[in-house]
Structure 1
Amino acid sequence: MQKQIRKLTEMAIAGDLPEIHKWYQENRELPLSTIEFYEKILKPVMESVGSLWEKNKITVAEEHLATASIDYLMTQLRYQIVHPGQLKRSPSILLFCLEGEQHSLGLKMVSDVFRESKWNVKFLGSSVPTEEVIKTIDKWEPDAIGISIALSPLLPKLKDCLIQISEARKEVDILVGGRVVSLYDLEDFGINNVHLCRDLRDIESFALNAQNKSQPVLSEGDS
């Protein structure tokens, strides 16, 4: 597995999409679920790229190339997990990066975990103003909301966003993920229905549990 990670890291930094596509075709039959592929391969690649950038061993341009390359690979994977025939009764989630948060790759992984669990997903992307989030919530009325935040200076903005969301929809489940979740005690915010997600396993557990709760109980005549 380490050999695969090193090879993919090198290709991502080089922005070599043809080779990445070839690598994907050769390895698409690996006995890994989507979440295992993300946790065991893509996350280590992203962490390796981040470490190289922090040590000034790659340039900003190469870091951007690597991010775009991993995004490309995730797009290839996404074709396998999208469920076009989603039922209207399936639970829904609205995902976005807090305003000021530019990195959305991790949140795209989260969106794929929910899609694989047969949720309806709206992905708003990076740096979304809170007022636009509230407008979308009012219009779409999602069952859950997921927020990504990695930068600690954005914590005051996160608290304000959580307050506005809870005022708009008091009973909605709010998931918060990103690097700051493991660094700060966000429970001090005192806002109900907030779930702190430290990794994709936490996301998968929430998605599956909520999906099971949303399934209607069939009578014997309906089965």
Structure 2
Amino acid sequence: MTDTTAVENDGAVLTHARAALWQAVCDRDEYAAGQAVFTALDAGAAVEDVLLDVVAGVQHKVGREWAADRFTVAQEHAATAIHDRVIAAMAHRVPPAPPREPAGTVTVACVDGEWHALPARLLAEVLRHRGHRVDFLGAQVPTPHLIAHLHRTAPDVVALSSSLPVRLPDAHSAITAVQALGIPVLVGGAAFGDDGRHARLLGADAWAPDARAAADLLARGLPRPVPGAIRQRVDDLPHLIDQEYSLVLRGKRQLVRDTLAGLEERLPAMRAYTEAQRERTAEDVAHIVDFLSCALYADDSRLFTGFLDWTGDILEARRVPARVLDPGLALLQDLLKDFPRSLDFLTRGRAVLAARTAPARVPEPGAPA
């Protein structure tokens, strides 16, 4: 068999496995899901390819289906649970490569407040099959508990995962604390930006866009940080001197209350809301404040505008116009009128929403399109 034929066969096996796993997830059939991946493994597919090209690929599709309002939250959670059990079954069915001394020990964990553990779990399994000794701590690991664990275990590297940008301040605390022990930190996940810009801002020793890239980085080795030098560099975020981040974060509860009160005054229909509708509206306003505060922490308006654009997509998929967000943003501008960076980010956010609803320009006859 030629190399080209082998690649084509592998591709066909993985394609078939993705289709079978997707159907199993849609049917909520855990046993069929296991059969889909085991069939691929029996056909010669590599464990890493099944983990990343099949399981992760189907999980990404689940996320897209939820965003498009074709999957409920319950269906998304059920799919994630099936994938988690399939990964565990694979780990017991296909033993990892024997640990290699140069590969070292890696502690894999999600930052405090991060519940999306599947990306970290996939990384842990990839690293095991590449010969690393892996200590997987799972979701939502408070930094003090992480540090206490590292004192006992002394790994060579810590890999931190975060999908939500609102966890960046927690990630920063964890990165700094781990480096203070002289342990290098590799980070990954959507929270750190698609180009790793937030990883660099927070002083991580390395960033990887996916599990394969992370494993490749660790194979080349990461130098151990000098604790004192790292602390001086990481803690220097001069834009925080204006205290906008701290004040917005501490004032979140009052900002939400005042915004809800303002919305009731400006939008009389809100006065007829049920208690459940009021709670949902309060949650939405709280999310807006959360993303505004994390954008202030990173001094990156894209965190805020990107969140609003994504939220607009979610709303419109559910047949709710994105412009419903604008009155709340306008009220927050009034409440934060003495906060220059906040006003700038809110103005940019409103512009993003306005651009979504602006009518398309129709060129006049004879004018260039």
Please report the TM-score for the alignment, with normalisation by the length of structure 2: 0.52
Which amino acid in the other structure matches residue 54 of structure 1? A
Q: Is the 8 A contact 2:30 2:82 kept in 1?
A: yes
User: Is 1:92 aligned with 2:115?
Assistant: no
Question: 2:59 corresponds to which letter in structure 1?
Answer: M
Gaps of 5+ in 1: 212-223
**1:120 is aligned to 2:130:** no
Aligned letter for 2:192? V
Q: Distance in 2 between matches of 1:188 and 1:88?
A: 32
Partner of 2:185: 174
How far apart are residue 162 of structure 1 and its match?
1.0
Cα deviation digits, residues 86-114 of structure 1 (max 9, x gap): 47776111111011100111111111111
- 1:43 aligned residue: 56
The structure whose Rg is larger is 2
What is residue 203 of structure 1 aligned with on the other side?
214
Deviation at 1:7, TM superposition (A): 2.9
CA deviations on 1:37-66 (whole Å, 9 max, x unpaired) are: 223212220111001111111111111110
Q: After superposition, give the CA deviation of every residue in 1:160-215 in whole Å (9 maximum; x if it has no partner).
A: 11111111x12x221101112334512122x3x6110101221221233349xxxx
| Letter matched to residue 213 of structure 2 | D
Which letter does structure 1 place at the counterpart of 2:113? G
Query: Which residue does the alignment assign to 1:5?
Result: 18
> Deviation digits for residues 75-94 of structure 1, max 9, x if unmatched?
122121335x6477761111
Answering whether residue 82 of structure 2 is matched by residue 69 of structure 1, we say yes
Distance 1:33 1:209, change over 3 A: farther
Q: Which residue of 1 aligns with 2:119?
A: 106
Aligned residues: 206
Give the partner amino acid of 1:55: A
TM-score (norm 1): 0.83
Matched, 1:135 2:135: no
What is the alpha-carbon root mean square deviation over aligned residues? 2.2
Q: Tell me how far 1:31 sits from its aligned partner.
A: 3.5
Which of 61, 67, 81 matches 2:95? 81
More helix by share: 2
> What is the CA distance between 1:139 and its match in structure 2?
0.9
Contact 1:134 1:164 in 2 (8 A): yes
The one-letter code sitting in structure 1 at the alignment partner of 2:114 is E
* Aligned residue number for residue 148 of structure 1: 161
2:175 match:
162
Give the whole-Å Cα distance in 2 for the aligned partners of 1:34 and 1:4.
12
The one-letter code matched in structure 1 to 2:96 is V
Contact 2:147 2:177 in 1 (8 A): yes
CA separation in 2, counterparts of 1:41 and 1:22?
13
The structure, 1 or 2, with the larger RCO (C-alpha pairs under 8 Å, 6+ apart) is: 1
Deviation at 1:21, TM superposition (A): 2.7
Q: 1:40 to 1:25 in 2, by over 3 A?
A: closer
- In the aligned structure 1, how far is the partner of 2:159 from the partner of 2:30? 30
Aligned to 1:215: none
In the alignment, the residues of structure 2 paired with residue 92 and residue 210 of structure 1 have an alpha-carbon distance, to the nearest angstrom, of 12
| Stretches of 4+ aligned residues off by more than 4 angstroms | 85-90
Name the % identity.
Answer: 20
Q: Which has the higher strand share?
A: 1
Which residue pairs with 2:340 in the alignment? none
Q: CA deviation at 1:13?
A: 3.2
Q: Is the 8 A contact 1:176 1:195 kept in 2?
A: yes
